[in-house]
Structure 1
Amino acid sequence: MTTIAIAGFGKIARDQHLPALRDNRDFELTAIASRNATLEGVDNHQDLDALLSAVPALDAVALCTPPQVRYAQAVAAIEAGKHVLLEKPPGVSLSEVEDLVRRAKQQGVTLYATWHAREAAGVEKAREWLSTRRVTGVDIQWREDVRQWHPGQQWVWEPGGLGVFDPGINALSIVTRILPEAFFLREATLEVPENCQSPIGATLEFTDVHDTPIHADFDWRQTGPQTWQITVDTEDGKLVLDSGGSQLSINGERIIDGEDVEYAGLYRRFAELIRKGQSDVDVAPFRHVADAFLLGRRQSVEAFIE
């Protein structure tokens, strides 16, 4: 059994990582590193350096801290010989992530940059269906309430916090998985609150080698029911992934109506990578976000008030 620690015991770690680990027989959660939270029944430490010193026999670390501090933590864990799982996004820059790949290879440990939305129940079936079809258009609607999912978390508005791309990157992780052709950003508009550094809304226009229109609308101001939907038009009809990818419909027929299995899938994959001595670091979704910040026109909007 692989012993593992969680660094950063906030909402996502409590709601998703902890249940997934408790249900996975390949891992034993033995320690937590968190400034503001503890967990009964395991070793608790204020920071990752203290944890690594106190628990030298630890096998792996899941980094659930904000991306702005994740590089230094990942380096410390890798240099200590630990396998590392990175919550999304994998860092604050592509250069950081590339360096972590190099370091993990040198140390002979697994590095896994996770994209939990790819583990949603309908994603792989959607990829299979689209693999033999000509895509004629894509529409992505990813709208949610930041106050519900990131209450009081100022880091999301700072440089590196991504703003609305924190959820929007989930949509991009699905689309980069299911579409049979690579696609590229052509233009974007980023709506940035006057008191923040990161956008609260974004519209993006992509295309591929066939000039297929791919539109994305990300918004962090939606109240009430949340919208996580991807619609793909093809020459053989319409495919819709809804509820973040857990529901799949093709030509109006519901094919899959799945449960929330995303983080269970991540830890199955992490265990497999460790057994095989491999890493999995796909930066395609992150690259599209970087392109949006490079090409996007910034539009100032009213201040965000928590």
Structure 2
Amino acid sequence: MGELRVAIVGFGKIARDQHVPAIAATPGVTLAAVASRNASLPGLPHFATIEELLQDGPEIDAVALCTPPQVRRQQAVAALKAGKHVMLEKPPGAAVTELDPLIALAAEQRRTLFATWHSRYAPAVEPARAWLAERRITRVQINWKEDVRVWHPGQSWIWEPGGLGVFDPGINALSILTRILPARVFVTAAELSFPSNRAAPIAADLTLTDTSGLPIAAAFDFRQTGPQSWDIIVDTESEQLVLSRGGARMAAGGQTLVEAPDEEYPGLYRRFVELATDGSSDVDLLPLQLVADAFLLGSRHIVEPFED
């Protein structure tokens, strides 16, 4: 296979800030077009919808769906039926059950379906996984707190059903957790805080465990101001591991073991090229299943209204 020609569908903040530079920095992939109702990129073919792109656009091999999760299933179906490989931004969908038919369709079309978890490609995640594999873990605490006005300005979809609210960033922490821990984890309880004028939570406290009874707690909050917190603290019998900056830094025993710049999205595109070349798919639904279980088990509390 030659260069993987990719069209970005949905051209908001994440597409501009992460996907465009990652494609430019990754050998074997090139940006061929953009489909968006509200934005374009100078010098590239532009279309309002994915349907127009697939019908009238240039030759492409794949699409990267950066639209809100509520509309991704229909777009993925259209792309796969047109014979294109599909990358799904996280979360891969607005519902867990909508993904299995996409997996089946990708296999039927012999095309790649890649459900991405960009935080798993942070530089300290794999070293943390290896470090923990040699130790007995006794406790895990996740603190994932950020200012929604900074990271999701004016994005009303995040507050709608299927938009996930604070779980949009929180699912990043869960994607790291499920990668670095050796055993399968599950939710046992959750406390969800909903603004009185919104349909998605602004904060959440989760209790999780694994088959051995490991205590795991996660605190997610969209109301953080000042320094932002993207930390996972893992206690072991010997010493404590701290993953910070969303997985960019790893420290243990008072020493920094890993600290590197963000390379998450180039990692995603390297993986996408590999999958498309091999004709295989990569769809891990566990982080989304944990969020779904948090909604299923969660106690709902109404808090003050949120105004963007």
Match of 1:187 among 164, 189, 192: 189
DSSP-derived class of the 1:95 partner = coil
Which residue number in structure 1 is paired with residue 131 of structure 2? 129
Match of 1:85 among 81, 84, 87: 87
Which residue number in structure 2 is paired with residue 163 of structure 1? 165
Compute the RMSD of aligned alpha carbons. 0.7
Q: 1:159 deviation in Å?
A: 0.3
The answer to whether the aligner puts 1:300 opposite 2:271 as a matched pair is: no
Which residue number in structure 1 is paired with residue 230 of structure 2? 228
Q: 1:212 deviation in Å?
A: 1.2
Q: 1:132 deviation in Å?
A: 2.3
Relative to the length of structure 1, the TM-score reads 0.99
Q: Which amino acid aligns with 1:57?
A: E
What is the distance in 1 between the residues matched to 2:236 and 2:278?
A: 37
What is the distance in 1 between the residues matched to 2:199 and 2:135?
A: 40
The answer to whether the aligner puts 1:208 opposite 2:210 as a matched pair is: yes
Percent of matched pairs sharing the same residue:
57
What is the distance in 2 between the residues matched to 1:50 and 1:208?
A: 46
Q: What pairs with 1:1-306 in structure 2 (closer than 5 Å)?
A: 1-55=3-57, 57-306=59-308
What is the distance in 2 between the residues matched to 1:183 and 1:267?
A: 28
What is the distance in 2 between the residues matched to 1:264 and 1:102?
A: 27
Contact persistence 2:33–2:58 (CA under 8 A): no
Q: 1:209 deviation in Å?
A: 1.7
Aligned length in residues = 306
Q: 1:290 deviation in Å?
A: 0.3
Q: Which amino acid aligns with 1:4?
A: V
What is the distance in 2 between the residues matched to 1:100 and 1:282?
A: 13
Q: 1:56 deviation in Å?
A: 6.0
Instruction: State which drifts further: 176-185 or 137-146.
Output: 176-185
What is the distance in 2 between the residues matched to 1:56 and 1:278?
A: 24
What is the distance in 2 between the residues matched to 1:17 and 1:289?
A: 25
Q: 1:181 deviation in Å?
A: 1.0
Q: 1:57 deviation in Å?
A: 2.5
What is the distance in 1 between the residues matched to 2:58 and 2:145?
A: 43
DSSP-derived class of the 2:163 partner = coil
Q: Which amino acid aligns with 1:6?
A: I
What is the distance in 2 between the residues matched to 1:256 and 1:135?
A: 20
Unaligned runs of 5+ in 2: none
DSSP-derived class of the 2:281 partner = coil
Instruction: State which drifts further: 52-61 or 263-272.
Output: 52-61
